[in-house]
Structure 1
Amino acid sequence: MNIRAWVKYGIVLGAFLVADFAYSQTPDEQFATAENTFRFQDYVGAEKLLSELLYPEVLLSSTADIIKAHEYLAACYYWLKNEKRLEEEFTVLLTLAPRHELDAFYYPSAFIEHFEQTKRRMAELHLIDPEIEPDDGPEVICEGREVSIERRSWVPNLVPFGVGQFINGQKTKGALFLSGQLLTLGMNIGAYASIEGLRGDDALFSHNNAITARKLRIVQYVGLGAFGALVIWGIVDAFMNYEPYKRTFKVVPCPMLESSNAGIAICTTW
């Protein structure tokens, strides 16, 4: 075996060793990696690592780490501008720790205010009670989860008039695409109808009507082009914001397992 072959063999062996080390990390070690990734402001990478530790099954054993992981994940969604997932993580975090507070030194005021609003809303709905002191005994977190995955079809993204935006939950943007496409399509159809109305009984235009018809033809083509551009823009935008899986949260009483301890379970529907 020559030197080049030995080098190739070493590279392959090293890759296997690195991969094996990555997969042999304990959940606590993975959480430490996720925490460092978050602190280096790699929110996309931190979101992926934290989600793997929390969903569909909680892999962390420490209550404090579980709560901190949900806090970091909520912060990731805040900076990634995913309002839906941010609200879900706040709900889970407050269900597990109703008295939890965010450090104003690390997080922006808008993030903390959103958290406090969620806490007040959940308290008003009697889902949590932040005023009750926790028991002196060890906190027991029910980890029972009802998980189902619902895959969303991508076909509605191809439908014009803002359908993809409405399905993605972007109602304002959907309304803008709907009104814009209706306006430009109406311009196209209106110009075409006006042109046909200028024809005489012999289906031809008079001299004056021919000049007007040429101007209306330009309006017709402009309307058609603008409509087509908005349709393409709407389809591209719908796919950019498309999430293939639908996930919702609801708080339900924790099911009775082998232990007699009762608590709250966060049931997750994908």
Structure 2
Amino acid sequence: MKTAIVALVLAASSSLGPAREAYQSGDLPRARVSLEGLLQPLRLSNLQEESEAHLLLSATLHAQEDLPRAEQEAVEGLALNPDAKLDPLVYPPDFIAFVERVNVLRHERIIQRSAQRRPPKLLPTPSSSIPVLVESRPASQGWYLVPFGVGHLVHGQRSKGTVLAVGQGTTFAVSAVSLGVALSLRGSDGRYSEQDAPTARAFNVSYLVGAYAFAALYAYGMLDGLLSSPAPAAPPPGRGPG
């Protein structure tokens, strides 16, 4: 009883109080309207409250089965507070599992959004007290040389990276298994028996087709990444001696 009273007092003292109350009472349309009114335009000055508002809106949308919007709001909430812990007394287990899944699958996107939302830190230079801006550097293009779509995944191109990972993984597996079976059919003299020769021939063809398909997908992924990625911006010209 005391816990419920404390929760109600805390809810009432925050701008999120009405939205929390509507969500916990099951009035999802009212909770959604209230939360969208706080976030669009933004009327919350505290990053922690804004993170909670996004997660609460994500829970509301999840309950309404609007999963794409729910994922988007979960990403925004986790970007503002990566260490956010969902109270199991407030949120149902399926939504908590949904947020944990989003945190894993959309980790790169969450990091990017977090960098966009948080102002750059100011640090003093070693030789003077003049502050400098610390900016995050983009991932190296060298990642595109790694097979299985790793370069695209590192650079946030999840759809293309997933397609390349599945395609290259499948063709590599087919090629490797076919080669293994073809080699296992050889006799001690390194030749195929008359009975095994047709089967071995089929597996050798499968091995070659898989190997060529893997090589083609790898070349496509590497060239697509290296040619479509924008070149890094040139640094501003330095100031000459005054």
Q: Normalising TM by the smaller chain, what interval?
A: 0.3 to 0.5
Higher relative contact order (CA 8 A, sep 6+): 1
Bigger radius of gyration? 1
TM-score, with structure 1 as normaliser? 0.37
Normalized per residue, the structure richer in strand is: 1
TM-score, with structure 2 as normaliser? 0.41
